[in-house]
Amino acid sequence: MLALDNPVRVRPEARQQIMDTFRANKIPDEYGLRVGIRGGGCGSSWLLGFDLPGPADEVYNVEDVRVIIDRKHLLYVLGAEIGYEPGGFTVDKPAAGE
In total, how many domains does the chain have?
A: 1
The answer to whether residue 3 sits within a structural domain is no
The answer to whether residue 25 sits within a structural domain is yes
The answer to whether residue 97 sits within a structural domain is no
The answer to whether residue 98 sits within a structural domain is no
> What's the pTM value of the predicted model, to 2 decimals?
0.86
pLDDT in tens, 18-77: 999 999 999 999 999 999 998 766 667 899 999 999 999 999 999 999 999 999 999 889
Q: Interior CA angle at 65 toward 60 and 5, to 5°? A: 25
- Domain interval for residue 59: 9-92
Burial of 50 (0-12, 13-18, 19+ CB in 10 A): middle
The answer to whether residue 84 sits within a structural domain is yes
The answer to whether residue 13 sits within a structural domain is yes
CATH assignment of the domain containing 36: 2.60.300.12
